Structure 1
Amino acid sequence: MTFEDILNNLKKKIYHPIYFLMGEESYFIDQISDYINQHVLTDAEKGFNQHILYGKDTDIDTIITYARRFPMMSSHQVIIVREAQNIKKIEELESYVKNPLNSTILVLNYKYKTIDKRKTFSKLIGQKGVLFESKKIYDNQLPDWIKRYLATRNYTIVPQASMLLAEYLGTDLSKVSNELDKLIISLPENSQITPDHIEKNIGISKDYNIFELQNALGERNVLKSNQIINYFSANQNANPFPRTISSLYQFFMKILTYHFLEDKSQNAVASSLGVHPFFVKSYIAAAKQYPIRKVVEIISTLRDFDMKSKGLGNVSSSAGDLQKEMIYKILH
């Protein structure tokens, strides 16, 4: 079952006796667990029928003892085990999994780790309840995730704004969702979010950011490229050099990939590069400015400056000076 399937079933009051929520991305685990915590039982029912346990302070026998109790004046009881990854020999829960109580909803938050899906224990959970793996999303998936998250709250976002947020917030979905929630609060209902909104409410400059730098470099606009890199140099905390190098490396790798594509239609390019179709024209324009040999040279330059940013082959140059030198070598 997907994250959306599980939440939709919960909203329809379709419950399972066991929810084993595991994986690297804590956001989805927290969302499912919190929904069960907040919505399955009424406040009056929670007093006798809802229990929160912690993996480091409990054991399998205690969990089974709680799980085998019957609810009082309620159709269900809820047991949430947080930090279940700290429980030793979690597979010993198998005796309960074989024959769980339908009146118990047992939720195990098994964060940052997974259990072997090939083993009997995992298969039993899948048969008797829900075995959900919460996977980290990739960088190129984040803009679409932001778009979907906002759509569930009746907001839209322009592609430039979603890319900007994705680049500067990273793939920590808890952090991203918190920033989006704060942004929503400051805007009228059903708004379309633009870079102007992001600059005003989150503090990411709409004119001096990595995407404007990429566009300026792609156009070989020397003046604008230098204006942006000078801003980066003066604002290192908001624009760390390693992130700039990483973003430019990905940008020029995409240009190199474009050069070797046989099908250069917009949809084919967007699919091959893993970008929104809106941005395809900027890669086409950049490819015209940078032939294959120059792109290969730039990628090598970026690797050199990555090493220098880590202190290898660099004795005294500041990050700001290195950034300016790097941009000069890219453009000339």
Structure 2
Amino acid sequence: MTWPELQQELTRGQVAPVYLLYGEEKYLLAQAVKALKETLLSPEAEPFDYQEFAGEDLVPESLSVLASTPPVLGRKRLILIKNARLDGEALVTYLTHPSPTACLVLIAPGNIDRKGKVFQLLQKVGRCVDFAPLKPGALARWLAQEARRMGRKIEGPAAMALAQAAGNLQQGILELAKLDLYLPPGTPITLQEVQALVPAALASDTIFQMVDALGSGRAEVAIGLCRRLLAAGEAPLGILGMMVRQFRLILQAHLAGPDSPDLAVALHLPPFVAQKVARQAARFSPEAASEVLELFLQTDVDLKTGAGNPAFLLERAIWAATRRGKRVG
């Protein structure tokens, strides 16, 4: 289950007896806990019917006793366990017969064994909500939504640059709050403001400018930006990884159809970025894009085995890649 699906259920008043919340998007996970509190507990009921524990401090055998205690003022008791351990017979026993007067919320760190006995039981009697990292396009849309909530408009390229720089929603909202404090009320947030006020955005934007130049066949521009990234301390393998990603997107665009109205959805990208990829797909045929990926694979091997100076290997790959594209327009 995803966070939007959980929201829909809670809006309808549907509350499961048990929830497992896990994943890296901590901001959305915290929003889910807040939504559960608001659904089950009034402000007056919370001091009596809400309890929070750390998994390492909770005696497993006490879980059934806690959950079987009737609520005082709320619909149900809400019991939250952070860093929950998803093992032990006490938890399995409780999941077999969960209390009808309690809602148990387990927040689990790290990787989840989806094939394990406890996870299977949780899926059967409750809800398992995955707060997986948002892809850049989805993260940019969330940040644009948060900006609107603040009374701001953020331009598409600015939202994308902020998403790439932040890496997750929690950090993105913190950076958005800084921008909101700095700019005059009502002023739109542009790419220039993001680059000026969010240091990581400038490096992030540079690497996207580089792969855009690469995909557009502008070798000299791509090499200049590559040199700038290396001088700023970017890892050669990281730069190559972004080059690989761009040509995988070009291949995926061919599979989806470069003229498809659903291309942005298929590529999980904002529409303006998907349009760029479609134009690049017109330059590189599927066969040419596949050849470029093979070339990048050899570059990866050369970088890892120290077969040459990293700057030289990357520049050679850029020149060779752009030569496989055709001139258009």
Same fold (TM over 0.5): yes
Counterpart Cα distance in 2 of 1:21 and 1:78: 13
Q: What letter is aligned with 2:66?
A: Y
Counterpart Cα distance in 1 of 2:188 and 2:161: 15
Q: What letter is aligned with 1:22?
A: L
Contact 2:165–2:198 (CA<8 Å) still a contact in 1?
no
Which of 90, 107, 110 matches 1:109? 107
* 2:191 is aligned with 1:195: yes
Contact 1:20–1:107 (CA<8 Å) still a contact in 2?
yes
Unmatched runs of 5 consecutive residues or more in structure 2: 324-329
Between 65-74 and 240-249, the greater mean CA deviation after superposition: 65-74
* 2:322 is aligned with 1:324: no
Q: What is the SS of the residue equivalent to 2:202? A: coil
Counterpart Cα distance in 2 of 1:19 and 1:177: 29
Q: What letter is aligned with 1:108?
A: L
Q: What letter is aligned with 1:79?
A: I
Which deviations, in whole Å up to 9, do the C-alpha atoms of 1:290-332 show, x marking residues without a partner? 45554333222221222233x22526x2x44443343333344
Counterpart Cα distance in 2 of 1:80 and 1:145: 26
* 2:294 is aligned with 1:295: no
Q: What is the SS of the residue equivalent to 1:295? A: helix
* 2:298 is aligned with 1:314: no
Which of 210, 228, 244 matches 1:249? 244
Q: What letter is aligned with 1:193?
A: I
Q: What is the SS of the residue equivalent to 2:53? A: strand
Structure 1 segments, 4+ long, off by >6 Å, are none
Question: What is the CA-CA distance between 1:58 and the residue it aligns to?
Answer: 1.6
Change (3 A) 1:206 1:283: same
Aligned to 1:164: 161
Question: What is the CA-CA distance between 1:149 and the residue it aligns to?
Answer: 4.4
Aligned to 2:326: none
Question: What is the CA-CA distance between 1:20 and the residue it aligns to?
Answer: 0.8
Change (3 A) 1:273 1:76: closer
Counterpart Cα distance in 1 of 2:12 and 2:291: 59
Which deviations, in whole Å up to 9, do the C-alpha atoms of 1:166-195 show, x marking residues without a partner? 43443x443344333444443455554321
Counterpart Cα distance in 2 of 1:273 and 1:2: 20
Q: How does 1:59-98 map to 2 (within 5 A)?
A: 59-71=59-71, 77-89=77-89, 90-94=91-95, 96-97=97-98
Change (3 A) 1:294 1:133: closer
Counterpart Cα distance in 1 of 2:143 and 2:224: 29
Which of 205, 225, 244 matches 2:222? 225
Counterpart Cα distance in 2 of 1:208 and 1:94: 48
Which deviations, in whole Å up to 9, do the C-alpha atoms of 1:8-53 show, x marking residues without a partner? 776x7958473412333452333222555689454x7655543221
Contact 1:199–1:205 (CA<8 Å) still a contact in 2?
yes
Counterpart Cα distance in 2 of 1:301 and 1:196: 35
Q: What is the SS of the residue equivalent to 1:163? A: helix
Which of 270, 275, 287 matches 2:269? 275
Aligned to 1:23: 22
Counterpart Cα distance in 2 of 1:2 and 1:295: 34
Aligned to 1:32: 32
Between 135-144 and 61-70, the greater mean CA deviation after superposition: 135-144
Number of aligned pairs?
316
Question: What is the CA-CA distance between 1:124 and the residue it aligns to?
Answer: 2.7
Aligned to 1:53: 53
Aligned to 1:178: 174
Question: What is the CA-CA distance between 1:154 and the residue it aligns to?
Answer: 4.4
Q: What is the SS of the residue equivalent to 1:279? A: helix
TM-score, normalised by the number of residues in structure 2 = 0.76
Contact 1:21–1:134 (CA<8 Å) still a contact in 2?
no
Counterpart Cα distance in 2 of 1:118 and 1:164: 37
Between 51-60 and 27-36, the greater mean CA deviation after superposition: 27-36
Question: What is the CA-CA distance between 1:234 and the residue it aligns to?
Answer: 0.8
Contact 2:164–2:204 (CA<8 Å) still a contact in 1?
no
Calculate percent identity across the aligned residue pairs: 17
Counterpart Cα distance in 1 of 2:150 and 2:78: 28
